[in-house]
Structure 1
Amino acid sequence: MRTTVALLFGGRSGEHGISCVTAGGILAAIDRERFDVIAVGISREGRWVHVSADPSDWTLVDGRTPEVDPSGDEVLLPRSRHRPGERIALRTVVDGAVRELAEVDVVWPLLHGSYGEDGTVQGMLEMLDIPYVGSGVLASAAAMDKAATKLVLRSAGLDCAPGIVVHEDRWAADAHRVASYLRRNHPLPWFVKPSRAGSSLGVTRVSDPAELEAAMKDAFAEDPKVLVEEGLEAREIECGVLQGRDGGEPSTTLPGEVKVGDDLDFYDYEAKYFGKGTVSIDVPAALPDGVLEEIRETARRAFSALGLEGLARVDMFVTPDHRVLINEVNTMPGFTPYSMFPVLWENMGLGYADLIAELIEQARTRRLGPR
Structure 2
Amino acid sequence: MSTRKPKLILVYEPEKACFDRLVADNHVPKRAAEIASYLAQSTDIAAEFDALAIACQTRGLSFAPLALDDAVTVLASEVPKTTLVWTLTDGIAYFRGGAAPALARLNGLKTIGADDALFALCQDKFRSGAVLGALGLPVPQAGFARDGAWLVAPPASPAGWFVKPNRLGAKIGIWPDSRCDDLGRALELSRRVFAAYRDDVVVQPYVAGRNARASFLGLKPDTGVEALGIAFVDSGDDFQTMQDSLALYGDTGAVAKASGTYTEPALLPIADSQPRADATIRRIAGNLMVGLGLRDVFSIDFRVEADDSVHLIEFEVCPGLPCFDFRDYCRRQWGLSLADAMAEAAANRLLA
Q: Per the shorter chain, which TM-score range?
A: 0.7 to 0.9
Moved more, 280-289 or 132-141: 280-289
Aligned residues between the structures: 307
Higher helix residue share: 2
**Partner residue, 2:121:** 142
The alpha-carbon distance between structure 1 residues 187 and 108, as it changes in their structure 2 partners (threshold 3 A), is: same
Could you list the per-position Cα deviations for residues 29-78 of structure 1 after superposition, in whole angstroms to 9, with x for gaps in the alignment? Answer: 32513343323224xxxx438xxxxxxxxxxxxxxxxxxxxxxxxx7235
Change (3 A) 1:246 1:310: closer
Confirm whether residue 77 of structure 1 aligns to residue 74 of structure 2.
yes
Corresponding position: 1:289 with 2:275 = yes
Code of the residue aligned with 1:313 in structure 2: it is S
Aligned 1:54-69 pairs, distance under 5 A: none
| 1:206–1:317 distance in 2 versus 1, CA, 3 Å | closer
Q: Which residue of 1 aligns with 2:137?
A: 158
- Per the TM alignment, residue 126 of structure 1 is displaced from its structure 2 partner at its CA by 1.0
Task: State the 1:216 CA deviation.
Answer: 0.9
- Partner residue, 1:40: 66
Where in structure 2 are the equivalents of 1:191-206 lying within 5 Å? 191-198=162-169, 200-204=171-175, 205-206=178-179
Q: Give the SS at the match of 2:327.
A: helix
Give matches, 1:149-298, under 5 Å. 149-166=128-145, 168=146, 171=147, 174=149, 182=154, 185-198=156-169, 200-204=171-175, 205-209=178-182, 211-220=185-194, 221-222=196-197, 224-243=199-218, 245=220, 247=222, 249-261=224-236, 264=237, 266-275=239-248, 280-285=265-270, 286-298=272-284
Shift in alpha-carbon separation, 1:334–1:140, aligned structure 2, 3 A:
same
Distance 1:277 1:161 in 2: 33
Displacement of 1:201 in angstroms is 0.9
Kindly indicate whether the alpha-carbon contact (under 8 Å) linking 2:219 and 2:341 is maintained by their aligned counterparts in 1.
no
SS at structure 2 position matched to 1:321 = coil
Distance 1:162 1:324, change over 3 A: same
Unpaired runs of at least 5, structure 2? 19-34, 249-260
CA 1:303 to 1:269, structure 2 compared with 1: closer, same or farther past 3 Å? farther
- CA distance in 2 between partners of 1:278 and 1:20 (Å): 21
The alignment partner of 1:196 has SS state of coil
CA pair 121-131 structure 1, distance change in 2 beyond 3 A: same
Cα 1:346–1:117 shift into 2, 3 Å: farther
TM-score, with length taken from structure 1: 0.70
Say if 1:7 and 1:107, in contact at 8 Å, map to a contact too.
Answer: yes
Matched, 1:108 2:86: yes
Q: What is the aligned-residue RMSD (CA, Å)? A: 3.3
Counterpart of 2:288 in structure 1 is 302
Q: Is the 8 A contact 2:220 2:349 kept in 1?
A: no
Give, in whole Å, the separation in 1 of the partners of 2:143 and 2:208: 18
Distance 1:250 1:296, change over 3 A: closer
Q: Distance in 2 between matches of 1:26 and 1:218?
A: 37
- Distance in 2 of aligned mates of 1:185 and 1:25: 47
Are 2:332 and 1:347 aligned? yes
| Contact preservation (8 Å) 2:211, 2:301 | yes
Task: Among all aligned residue pairs of Structure 1 and Structure 2, give the percentage whose two residues are the same amino acid.
Answer: 19
Instruction: Describe the shift of the 1:150–1:212 C-alpha distance in structure 2 as closer, same or farther (beyond 3 A).
Output: closer
Per-residue CA shift, 1:209-236, capped at 9, x if unaligned?
Answer: 4643442134335464421112221111
1:170-222 CA distance string (max 9 Å, x none): x55x45x97xx55x712354221122221611234133546434421343354
Give, in whole Å, the separation in 1 of the partners of 2:79 and 2:262.
51
TM-aligned CA distance change 1:268 to 1:300, over 3 Å: farther
Equivalent pair of 2:214/2:300 in contact (CA under 8 Å): yes
In the other structure, the counterpart of 2:12 is 9
Partners of 1:201 and 1:119 in 2: CA distance: 18
Q: Distance in 1 between matches of 2:262 and 2:202?
A: 25
CA separation of 1:202 and 1:195: change in aligned 2, threshold 3 A: same
Contact 2:38/2:172 (CA < 8 Å) preserved in 1? Answer: no
Query: Cα distance, 1:298 vs. partner?
Result: 1.8
Query: Does the CA contact (< 8 Å) of 1:113 and 1:198 recur in 2?
Result: no
1:245-294 CA-to-partner distances (Å, cap 9, x unmatched) read 45564443241111132xx5621233234159976322313423232222
Bigger relative contact order, structure 1 or 2 (CA pairs below 8 A, ≥6 apart): 2
1:67 paired residue number: none
Match of 2:111 in 1: 132
Q: Is the 8 A contact 2:159 2:181 kept in 1?
A: yes
- For 2:229 and 2:85, the matched residues in 1 are separated by 29
Residues 140, 204 of structure 2: 8 Å contact kept: yes
